[in-house]
């Protein structure tokens, strides 16, 4: 597929995906969502990619939500199909077998904020803003926001953000657990790449299984979560990577 609304760069084990509709503040229309689904599938199958970074083009926005101009005249069936497409795109990102970091470089509103919720974690620039303004437009978050946000920050805080539609700063997002770190704007991408590179330098199978066990075990009780952990870590001993890394560690110690 040719990508008109997204840029993809693969280098040193990192796949950097940039939403590239700066004149529309990188808003999510059908074409962009279709392209994103294809890119996520491609990155998942690409053995040269160990970590994925998501960011936005321009100085104003990460993703300023779904494309209101495209949504305005939708009938209920059309809206349902559009929401299904959004769910497929964002769930595909969430289910990616490789770690995903959002580098939020500006407005992350509506569908843009919902996309960050599906990443493994997010870093935000000092000028980033987060919000779910959908209720002011006669709808509500429809790309998974009503489900993922309460699980991340708690039901009461999620209700406050979604029902008021208010926008919050990067610092406020950090304080309630929506982002892991607030970074000076000029350093956002370089710092995100630094963290992603550290992850990429680690054992591919170890990182992959650790992410899977955390995600799958999150909703299990402790006993079943521990059982999942035991069975999964044993798989790390099936290949050569663990043996090479442990041997190198011991030889370095000597």
pLDDT in tens, 90-106: 999 999 999 999 999 99
SS3 26: coil
Instruction: Count CB neighbours of 24 within 10 A.
Output: 19
The alpha carbon of 64 is separated from its chain's Cα centroid by a whole number of angstroms, namely: 15
Q: Which pLDDT belongs to residue 254? A: 59
How far apart are alpha carbons 193 and 187 in whole angstroms?
10
Nearest alpha carbon to residue 62 among 3, 15, 19: 19
Q: Does domain 6-200 have CATH number 3.10.580.10?
A: no
Q: What is the pTM of this model?
A: 0.95
Nearest alpha carbon to residue 18 among 34, 5, 31: 5
Q: Which pLDDT belongs to residue 43? A: 98
pLDDT in tens, 109-157: 999 999 999 999 999 999 999 999 999 999 999 999 999 999 999 999 9
Read off the pLDDT band of 208 (50, 70, 90). very high
For the chain, what are the domain ranges?
6-200, 203-253
pLDDT in tens, 211-231: 999 999 999 999 999 999 999
Q: How many residues does the chain have?
A: 254
Residues marked active site are found at 114, 134
Read off the pLDDT band of 1 (50, 70, 90). confident
Burial 52-82 (b: 16+ CB within 10 A, else e): bbbbbbbeebbbbbbbeebbeeeeeeeeeeb
Residue 253 has pLDDT above 90, yes or no: no
Considering Cα of 126, then 132, then 134, then 136, what sign does the dihedral take? negative
CATH architecture of 203-253: Orthogonal Bundle (1.10)
Q: Which pLDDT belongs to residue 170? A: 98
Q: Which pLDDT belongs to residue 2? A: 85
pLDDT in tens, 33-68: 999 999 999 999 999 999 999 999 998 999 999 999
Q: Which pLDDT belongs to residue 59? A: 87
Give mean pLDDT, residues 175-190. Answer: 98
Fold match flag (6-200 vs 203-253): no
pLDDT in tens, 10-22: 999 999 999 999 9
Percentage of the chain surpassing pLDDT 70?
A: 99
């Amino acid at each position: 597929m040719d990508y008109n609304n997204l840029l993809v760069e693969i280098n040193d084990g990192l796949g950097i995906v940039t939403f590239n509709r700066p004149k529309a503040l990188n808003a999510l229309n059908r074409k962009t969502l279709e392209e994103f689904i294809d890119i996520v599938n491609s990155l998942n199958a690409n053995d040269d990619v160990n970590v994925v970074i998501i960011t936005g083009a321009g100085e104003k926005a990460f993703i300023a939500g779904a494309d209101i101009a495209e949504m305005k005249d939708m009938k209920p069936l059309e809206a349902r199909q559009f929401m299904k497409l959004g769910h497929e795109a964002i769930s595909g990102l969430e289910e990616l077998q490789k770690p995903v970091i959002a580098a939020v470089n500006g407005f992350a509103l509506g569908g843009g904020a919902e996309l960050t919720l599906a990443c493994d974690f997010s870093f935000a620039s000092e000028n980033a803003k987060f919000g779910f303004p959908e209720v002011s437009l006669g709808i509500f978050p429809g790309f998974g926001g009503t489900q993922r946000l309460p699980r991340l920050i708690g039901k009461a805080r999620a209700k406050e953000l979604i029902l008021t539609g208010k926008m919050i700063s990067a610092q406020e997002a950090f304080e309630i657990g929506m982002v892991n770190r607030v970074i000076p704007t000029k350093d956002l991408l370089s710092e995100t790449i630094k963290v992603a590179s550290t992850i990429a330098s680690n054992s591919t199978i170890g990182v992959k299984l650790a992410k899977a066990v955390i995600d799958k075990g999150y909703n299990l009780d402790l006993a079943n979560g521990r059982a999942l952990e035991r069975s999964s870590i044993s798989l790390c001993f099936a290949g050569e990577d663990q043996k090479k890394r442990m041997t190198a560690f011991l030889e370095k110690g000597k």
